[in-house]
Structure 1
Amino acid sequence: MSSRPIILTGCSGAGKSSTLAELACAGYQTLPEAGRRVVETELASGGEALPWKNPLQFVEKAVETCLNDLSCLDLTGGTSFTDRSLIDLIAFLVRSGITVPGRLERLLDENHYSTTAFIYAPWPHIYKTDMERRHDFDEARREYEHLIEFYGSLGFNLVQVPQAPIEARVRFILDFCGHSGHLT
């Protein structure tokens, strides 16, 4: 059975990546966050495609990574999950006040993902900054609010993930998916 990837979205530092790692351990196909991988690569190479230096170039590289990930996904292999999505990248440009190039805007019309997405709220207990995540907790809150609005404008059904231990988050997601992990 073919299924589209299910998005884990929400603000930075809210527990998406740790949940995704646990889903991978449970045998689900997973796609790690493209943007974070771009930041890691750019920092290591001294590149400029960073969200705080050149947001458009950052998004272009992250979109390319994301599309490559999607093309490698085995959609006949059952349920898959992705840490963020093309939608998050475009929402970042909009929130930054940067005009979204037409080719990127058209990606929003393509049906890449399940129409139900899991959203993570800001969680001060686990939030921390690092070399790749430089913005503060207040910025994470604003990011969260923007993502709710942006995903909603595209017709997504957003399901709030509880602020709980990783295993409980995974169980919540799988229970919501009907134990089989399948959503429409």
Structure 2
Amino acid sequence: MSGKDGTAPAKLLVLTGGPGAGKTSLLATLQAMGYPALDEAGRAIIQDQQRIGGNALPWVDPGAFAEQMLGWDMRNFRMAEREAGPVFLDRGIPDVIGYLELSGIPVPAHLEKAAGVFRYDKIFLLRPWPEIFAQDSERRQSLEEAERTCEAMERVYDRLGYRLAEVPRGSLEQRAAFVINQMGK
């Protein structure tokens, strides 16, 4: 099927997993290769909230942080739909569910509904990688927390009916080649 102008419709491809797995670096590599990509919500929201002295931070008000992420991810979905062909997203709406479950916070019905309404075409899982894992002012989780986060994301996407393609460790070029090879499968 093609779009109104004869171009291929958007194909929404999500990179998910725990912090420190190389998602952002892989996304940048794919962008450098000419693929459209949209950044993750979490880091940008934390930066914005810190800049304005807001409370929607995971360590202050995790529920408000989750709502901010949901809004960002729905906007990313809409933006990606406008593209022709593959578009990579750094995390998706199911990641917000995983975050809440990991935090022991009940998942609101509207978030569960959003995960059913806004569906992605392919999910790529990147596991935390101790050799590249680093903490910073936005990423405060330990490596163990990053591993638990990855497991939570894997469970949520699986429960929502997605098949995950696990991206093997390797150079950015090797990882990008794997993703490109798998995106149509």
Report deviation, 1:20: 0.5
**Partner of residue 69, structure 1:** 76
Report deviation, 1:74: 4.5
Structure 2: which amino acid aligns with 1:109? Answer: G
**Partner of residue 122, structure 1:** 128
Aligned counterpart for 1:10 among listed residues 13, 17, 25: 17
Percent identical across equivalent pairs? 36
Report deviation, 1:75: 4.0
1:135 equivalent in alignment to 2:138? no
* 1:77–1:3 distance in 2 versus 1, CA, 3 Å: closer
Residues 91-113 of structure 1: per-residue CA shift (max 9 Å, x gap): 11122111112211111211431
1:168 equivalent in alignment to 2:174? yes
The CA distance in 2 between the partners of 1:49 and 1:111, in whole Å, is 23
**Partner of residue 86, structure 1:** 93
The CA distance in 2 between the partners of 1:152 and 1:112, in whole Å, is 13
**Partner of residue 154, structure 1:** 160
**Partner of residue 43, structure 2:** 36
The CA distance in 2 between the partners of 1:150 and 1:62, in whole Å, is 16
Q: How does 1:96-115 map to 2 (within 5 A)?
A: 96-114=103-121
Structure 2: which amino acid aligns with 1:23? Answer: L
Structure 1: which amino acid aligns with 2:162? Answer: F
Instruction: Could you tell me which runs of 5 or more consecutive residues in structure 1 were left unpaired when the two chains were aligned.
Output: none
Instruction: Could you tell me which runs of 5 or more consecutive residues in structure 2 were left unpaired when the two chains were aligned.
Output: 1-7
3-state secondary structure, aligned to 2:168? coil
Query: TM-score scaled by structure 1?
Result: 0.91
**Partner of residue 62, structure 2:** 55
Aligned residues: 178
Structure 2: which amino acid aligns with 1:127? Answer: F
Report deviation, 1:25: 1.2
